């Protein structure tokens, strides 16, 4: 096979004179060993002459991609004209047969850089190449996957454009990057409505705030729910954009949607102590135990204390949440108030107001206490979300915000090691859950 300018492509089976093509070794793509050796020699020569550039403007790979694409387009045109000639009774005949009609230049972004090809045209305008469909300006899925990966890692559209130009010599626009990332919207919609497990031992909930421009720029909550499966794996249940501040009423809407996706039972829900949330949870799952995050209680307490007293206040609060039962916890809270009540009277009040959501923690075995005393499991995720959101400054609408956070979700734990650590941490606790909640976890697995 030859390209339009007569450059041999060295495809196995043709274009290599004086060789036994049947015995010639070929690569997985059908390239002859002689061609690969010629390319290697060319690369070595370029190095000797002052350097080898593989990608970007003037690079070896874009030049090869251009020749290969040009040859493929010519071959596609030949096949197309031959097929039409067989149907119309003669290629190029006066009775209406089709024929070539020049070329049109087209700049295309490939995985190795931007190239310009001459797309052949036919007189009847029926030719539509499969390699480069009409209006297509990109080839293959690798480039799209690269843009999605860079977006998931927190780069803005402008930063991605700059990176592609610097690393690959590609000239693109923010609009093109946005068009590529919009492909994730369909999979995001499926992910947000997928069926869920019938029962989860624990669900952690929290909200982050992102800046969304809807008439004017304002902070909007995005609600996040993470579940621990019956097998001890982490599952992000979804993302929901709300209006105004975080509220129990909207959380009830979120939890109802989760229930409608198949979740019949949640043994324990861990939250940050939002008022009225227990009633909202029990409206959806009456048997669910609502546990406030102990770390949030401690942080809330420290807000009322001088920084120089933080270590001592935290030390004196520890006997409260490590007590063996409610009676001992109340006594230790009274002891704390005797020590710090005059200086920081508000701290005791924080614990008393959250007492009903704190008490369930005291009845938990140590194995469960260790994994539910904090919402760090979801806060580490929210930290990733915040970094991705802050890189953008603000979003034009909530769909753009959710798309960015969804892509960040897809990039979590690429090696799978985090999933394994999570599973190891929860193994002993899951056995205790089944005993503590009278077999409800086992029943949900059936």
> Tell me, what's the pLDDT at 42?
76
Q: Using CA atoms, how far apart are residues 186 and 403, in angstroms rounded to an integer?
A: 10
Give, as one character, the DSSP assignment of residue 396: S
The whole-angstrom separation of Cα 325 and Cα 91 is 92
Each residue's pLDDT tens digit, 276-309: 788 899 999 999 998 888 888 898 899 999 999 9
Lowest mean pLDDT of 62-76, 93-107, 263-277, name the range: 93-107
The alpha carbon of 314 is separated from its chain's Cα centroid by a whole number of angstroms, namely 37
Mean pLDDT of 314-320: 93
In the chain, the percentage of residues whose pLDDT exceeds 70 is 84
Instruction: Assess contact for 399 and 209: CB atoms under 8 A.
Output: no
Q: Is 298 left (phi over 0), alpha (psi -120 to 50) or beta?
A: alpha
Residue 95 confidence (pLDDT): 44
Q: Is 433 exposed, middle or buried (0-12, 13-18, 19+ CB in 10 A)?
A: buried
Residue 24 has what pLDDT? Answer: 46
Rounded distance, CA 223 to CA 237, Å? 10
Mean pLDDT computed over 130-145: 68
Residues 6 or more apart in contact with residue 233 via CB below 8 angstroms: 419, 422, 423
pLDDT in tens, 50-72: 777 776 666 777 777 777 778 88
Confidence of residue 2 (pLDDT cuts 50, 70, 90): very low
Sign for the pseudo-dihedral over CA of 432, 433, 434, 435: positive
Strand partners, 212: 218, 395
* CA-to-CA dists, residue 291 to 36, 68, 408, 431, angstroms: 65, 62, 28, 19
Q: How confident is the model at residue 3 (pLDDT cuts 50, 70, 90)?
A: very low
Using pLDDT thresholds of 50, 70 and 90, give the confidence band for residue 349. Answer: very high
Residue owning tokens 């704390």: 336
DSSP 265-309: EEEEEEES--TTHHHHHHHH-TTPEEEE-HHHHHHHHHTTS-GGG
Q: Are strands 265-271 and 199-214 parallel, antiparallel or unpaired?
A: parallel
Model confidence at 18: pLDDT above 50: no
Token duo for residue 39: 């390319």
Output the CA torsion sign for 342, 344, 348, 349.
Answer: positive
């Amino acid at each position: 096979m030859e390209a339009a300018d007569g450059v041999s492509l060295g495809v196995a089976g043709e274009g290599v004179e004086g060789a036994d093509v049947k015995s010639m070794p070929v690569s997985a793509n059908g390239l002859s060993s002689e061609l690969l050796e010629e390319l290697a020699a060319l690369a070595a020569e370029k190095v000797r002459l002052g350097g080898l550039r593989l990608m970007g403007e003037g690079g070896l790979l874009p030049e090869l991609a251009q020749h290969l694409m040009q040859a493929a387009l010519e071959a596609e045109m030949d096949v197309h004209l031959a097929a039409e000639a067989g149907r119309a009774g003669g290629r190029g005949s006066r009775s209406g047969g089709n024929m070539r009609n020049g070329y049109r230049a087209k700049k295309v972004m490939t995985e190795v850089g931007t190239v310009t090809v001459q797309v052949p045209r036919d007189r009847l305008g029926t030719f539509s190449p499969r390699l480069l469909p009409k209006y297509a300006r990109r080839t293959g899925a690798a480039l799209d996957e690269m843009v999605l990966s860079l977006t998931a890692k927190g780069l803005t559209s402008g930063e991605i454009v700059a990176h592609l130009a610097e690393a690959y010599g590609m000239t693109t626009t923010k609009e093109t990057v946005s068009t590529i990332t919009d492909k994730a919207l369909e999979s995001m919609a499926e992910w947000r409505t997928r069926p869920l497990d019938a029962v989860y031992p624990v669900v952690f909930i929290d909200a982050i705030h992102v800046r969304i421009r809807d008439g004017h720029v304002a902070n909007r909550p995005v609600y996040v729910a993470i579940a621990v499966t019956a097998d001890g794996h982490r599952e992000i249940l979804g993302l929901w954009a709300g209006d105004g501040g975080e509220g129990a009423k909207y959380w009830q809407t979120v939890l109802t949607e989760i229930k409608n996706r198949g979740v019949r039972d949640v043994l324990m829900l861990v939250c940050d102590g939002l008022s009225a949330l227990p009633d909202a949870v029990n409206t959806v799952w009456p048997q669910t135990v609502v546990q406030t995050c102990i770390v949030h209680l401690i942080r809330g307490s420290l807000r009322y204390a001088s920084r120089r007293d933080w270590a001592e206040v935290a030390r004196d609060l520890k006997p409260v949440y490590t007590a063996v039962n409610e009676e001992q916890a109340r006594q230790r809270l009274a002891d704390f108030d005797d020590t710090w009540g005059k200086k920081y009277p508000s701290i005791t009040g924080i614990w008393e107001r959250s007492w009903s959501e704190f008490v369930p923690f005291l009845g938990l075995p140590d194995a469960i206490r260790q994994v539910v005393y904090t919402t760090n499991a979801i806060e580490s995720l929210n930290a990733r979300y915040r970094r991705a959101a802050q890189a953008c400054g603000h979003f034009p609408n909530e769909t753009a915000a959710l798309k960015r956070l969804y892509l960040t979700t897809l990039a979590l734990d690429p090696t799978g090691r985090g999933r394994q650590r999570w599973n190891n941490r929860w193994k002993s606790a899951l056995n205790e859950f089944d005993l503590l909640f009278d077999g409800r976890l086992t029943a949900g697995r059936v």
